[in-house]
Structure 1
Amino acid sequence: MLEPQLEETKDRRSVELFAGGGGLAMGVHQAGFRPLLVNEIVKWACQTLLDNEAELRGDEERLPLPGERWPLVPGDVNDVKFHYLHDEVDLLAGGPPCQPFSLGGVAKGDEDKRNMFPQMFRAIRDIQPKAVICENVQGLLRPSFRPYFEYIERELCLPFVERQEGTDWREHDEILRERLSTTLANPKEKYELVTTRVNAADYGVPQIRNRIIIVAFRSDLGVDIERFRKSIAPTHSEAALNRSIRDGSYWKRHKVDARIRKLVEARLPREVAIDDGKLPWLTLRDALMYDLATYGVEKKRQLPPVSWEQLDRVTMAGGVPYHVGWPDARIYAGHTPNVLDRPAKTVKAGVHGVPGGESVLLTDDLLTEPTASETPTFRHRYMTVRETARVMTFPDEWKLAGPRGEQMRQLGNAVPVLLARFFANAVAEALNEADERR
């Protein structure tokens, strides 16, 4: 299941903006890119990065040597200087804050001061990276935002056609449309885009998480865009999961009570889908059984059970860090819980790090027995921070700074590590192939 890493001989280099708790940065790094600069503004997220792979860069603008820790520049991205990185970067990656565009945000779009796409474009102009990965919410594709999103795409195609202060984005969009209709742009100042709607579950992440990922390649490199599109096709499917449950191969990984198995199988569609050649979606039960970021489903690393008597906000189940039970979980309208044998629901940052019913899971512990007329009920509890991190495919060794609410916020705002690694691997291969043809 794990994507092969690039050969060590290729010194691919990256810059990460809006790094948060490190999901995208880690996936990019695991794909073989060496971070030259990492930026984040939130205090606890910065501490998480420092507790793991990063160190403070300081005021000296220099390129780190191979083997050095990630150089972190904390603070507002508006204040970060990029000129010293010009022509040194293979991949610029980042997920600009999504609140202006998410259903949970205030939905002001381009008028919202938290819109950080302009800073991505400034970084591209200063650095001229070979490739860009930008992740964001699907709210950008809502009808009310679609015209602005298409403008963002055109601005990413021509980032050097800079929007002048005081110019309305619609006026700037007309300029971009006109420039794109000509062939006069310098190929090194133009980018070819691939915008993809993704569900993280379709790429081996045990979570339903719908996002968009924009990948851009500098035009002068001659990257085969159609070949790249094919390389990022989904690898997993719901139909394959249903087949694996029905034929029993799923249960070979999970030894559960026959009553539970029967209940799960009863919820499957009656029709057996045609084999689509994909791997099965991974489930929440898979995430609790395997450290997917490190070992895939090849080696069990089961999380210890959380005792009902120790939902005390303190006790680490089995001594595992961040695996702490939390009391008072509730199921209520609009906040249905996670079930073990499907991918988890979308991990959300929530209000003050409290994501509501989306972080509740139904366990295998029956409260009532199944009958012919009534659906059984199961005991439920909040997911622990460690369980949530597994759903986001962070490895168990990854430390999370701050109180529980801040840890959950970092996870909810992150890019799943395996999703980031998949796309970064595809970018690296596309760049390698382009290099071989030149």
Structure 2
Amino acid sequence: MVVNKRSNGSEHAEGDAEPLTSIELFTGAGGLAEGLHRAGYRHRLAVEFYQRACESLRNNRAKDCPDLVAAARAIPTADAEWPLIEGKVQDVDFAPFEGKVDVLAGGVPCQPWSIAGKRQDIEEKIGGERNLWPEMFRVTHQVRPKVVIAENVVGLTRPSFKDYYDYILDGLRLPHEVRKPDEDWRRHHERLKKRLDNGDVPDDERYVVRAAILNAADFGVPQIRRRLFIVAYQANLGIGGWKSPTPSHSKASLVNDLIEGGYWARHGIAPRDEFTATLTPTLPNGMRPWRTVRDALRFPDELVEPELNRKPSPGPEHHVGWPGARPYRGHQPSDLDWPSKTIKAGVHGVAGGELTVDDSLGRYRYLTVREVARLMTFPDDWTFDGTRGPQMRQLGNAVPVDLAKAIGDSVRIQLRPGSAPDDSAQVSGDGEL
């Protein structure tokens, strides 16, 4: 296995306020972790169960952590490798990190929230080990971070899950009101609500929670990907709550760029008149255009059109053309001149055509792993362990790196007002749904 240890990549300037430290749960292939790293965070620990994802992390920035106490005592530097635990979060005692971490972050595994309407208890339906929100509460209780950043699918906010979603928010508000053995979540939630209603919880024992649904395309990711972010601040910080990042890119700007011709000129190709005829111009808003699939495949360095022969194409690793794609009802490809569909975990059989494209040679084909990595804004030298299937699984489950950086910047600006400004991390609103 080729190890590709990466350079720092952090945008934290020397001389800024002290960098934020963090622990990453459910790390996967490292999208959220890498985005926070680029925002200047220093990871004290990363935890991941999936073996292939752990190998990917080792190939890039991580090393195995043999001693949690030593990791908690270490002062992480910009070029330090991320200490990695390969295993279940449930099996890790995070007590050595109590009071030593600014941010606890994690994309909580997307348990099947599509069971809306089924008349079964949520925790009973999904099973204890598949619902890891209680682990987020537990680790928050043990570590007592200043901030918690959690990412999940938008389906969690569906009306059918309102009771459990409210429980998640209240569990993060009062993580130190620990769930008792054999206490079901509804009884625990009643205790949480009672304490919140009483208003007698000290500020250092509670968190202020805000949530927002963000579209990755609005932050320079060439993909339509709406995700839920929940951010909790310790109440005693006096911040008042998370302010979600202001979008830097917009659909309106892309539409105008396509209609007015700047987009086509930039790519040196003739306009697709039949495509632009379906678009309605809008007022300019000063934002950059959404990035498209064609943008991702051509900038900063153009990827060659792959041969569909399962052999590596010239260029960065994982650019391997795969044969056998065919269009059929309900499986329309992503359009080259629009952000891609939401990338899902899987290969053959993934519904909706999320991993296919009509390329510039007129072929209907599967996207390569490297092309999908670009749609997730991983750099070209970020490598993924396994064959095509496991690699696509890691990518579909990841948080786009550029979106993660925008989240990290928004939190850093509030926690470290003296840190270097970053035009991709302006803040606005209160982030509440």
TM-score (norm 2): 0.87
Q: Which amino acid aligns with 2:63?
A: E
Deviation at 1:146, TM superposition (A): 1.6
- Change in Cα spacing, 1:197 to 1:85, as seen in structure 2 (3 Å) is same
Deviation at 1:199, TM superposition (A): 1.1
* Contact 1:240–1:275 (CA under 8 A) maintained in structure 2: yes
Deviation at 1:254, TM superposition (A): 0.9
* CA RMSD across the alignment: 2.2
Q: Which amino acid aligns with 2:99?
A: D
* Contact 2:224–2:342 (CA under 8 A) maintained in structure 1: yes
Deviation at 1:354, TM superposition (A): 5.6
* Contact 2:323–2:365 (CA under 8 A) maintained in structure 1: yes
- Change in Cα spacing, 1:400 to 1:108, as seen in structure 2 (3 Å) is farther
Q: How far, CA to CA, are the matches of 1:26 and 1:103 in structure 2?
A: 32
Number of the residue aligned with 1:72: 84
Deviation at 1:129, TM superposition (A): 0.5
Aligned ranges for residues 401-416 of structure 1 at < 5 Å?
Answer: 401-416=385-400
Number of the residue aligned with 1:344: 340
2:44 to 36, 40, 64: 36
Number of the residue aligned with 1:305: 305
Number of the residue aligned with 1:129: 145
Number of the residue aligned with 1:364: 360
Number of the residue aligned with 1:263: 274
Deviation at 1:407, TM superposition (A): 0.3
Whether 1:276 aligns to 2:293 is: no
Whether 1:220 aligns to 2:240 is: no
Alignment coverage as a number of residue pairs: 400
Post-superposition CA distance 1:144-173 (Å, at most 9, x none): 112110110011011111111222222222
Post-superposition CA distance 1:32-56 (Å, at most 9, x none): 0111000000000000000100000
* Contact 1:199–1:209 (CA under 8 A) maintained in structure 2: yes
Unpaired segments ≥5 residues, structure 2: 1-8, 420-433
Aligned ranges for residues 189-228 of structure 1 at < 5 Å?
Answer: 189-225=205-241, 228=242
Deviation at 1:102, TM superposition (A): 4.6
Q: How far, CA to CA, are the matches of 1:75 and 1:46 in structure 2?
A: 9
Deviation at 1:355, TM superposition (A): 6.6
Number of the residue aligned with 1:250: 263
Deviation at 1:250, TM superposition (A): 1.7
Number of the residue aligned with 1:370: none
Number of the residue aligned with 1:384: 368
Whether 1:7 aligns to 2:13 is: yes
Q: How far, CA to CA, are the matches of 1:383 and 1:120 in structure 2?
A: 34
Number of the residue aligned with 2:254: 241
339-348 or 175-184: which moved more? 175-184
Q: How far, CA to CA, are the matches of 1:162 and 1:69 in structure 2?
A: 33
Q: SS state of the match for residue 415, structure 2?
A: helix
- Change in Cα spacing, 1:391 to 1:136, as seen in structure 2 (3 Å) is same
* Contact 1:208–1:346 (CA under 8 A) maintained in structure 2: yes
* Contact 1:5–1:425 (CA under 8 A) maintained in structure 2: no
Q: Which amino acid aligns with 1:350?
A: G
* Contact 1:264–1:341 (CA under 8 A) maintained in structure 2: no
Deviation at 1:320, TM superposition (A): 2.6
Number of the residue aligned with 1:296: none
Q: How far, CA to CA, are the matches of 1:416 and 1:103 in structure 2?
A: 26
Q: SS state of the match for residue 61, structure 1?
A: helix
Q: SS state of the match for residue 161, structure 1?
A: coil
* Contact 1:352–1:406 (CA under 8 A) maintained in structure 2: no
Number of the residue aligned with 2:423: none
Q: SS state of the match for residue 309, structure 2?
A: coil
- Change in Cα spacing, 1:354 to 1:61, as seen in structure 2 (3 Å) is farther
Q: SS state of the match for residue 192, structure 1?
A: strand
Q: How far, CA to CA, are the matches of 2:199 and 2:347 in structure 1?
A: 48
Q: SS state of the match for residue 184, structure 1?
A: coil
* Contact 2:342–2:354 (CA under 8 A) maintained in structure 1: yes
- Change in Cα spacing, 1:213 to 1:46, as seen in structure 2 (3 Å) is same
Number of the residue aligned with 2:427: none
Number of the residue aligned with 1:374: none
1:21 to 11, 29, 42: 29
- Change in Cα spacing, 1:61 to 1:352, as seen in structure 2 (3 Å) is farther
Q: How far, CA to CA, are the matches of 2:54 and 2:351 in structure 1?
A: 21
What percent identity do the matched residue pairs reach?
A: 45
Post-superposition CA distance 1:165-220 (Å, at most 9, x none): 22222222221112112332121221111100111111111001111001111111
- Change in Cα spacing, 1:351 to 1:100, as seen in structure 2 (3 Å) is farther
Number of the residue aligned with 2:4: none
Q: Which amino acid aligns with 1:91?
A: V
Deviation at 1:86, TM superposition (A): 0.8
Number of the residue aligned with 2:6: none
Q: How far, CA to CA, are the matches of 1:60 and 1:143 in structure 2?
A: 40
Number of the residue aligned with 1:56: 64
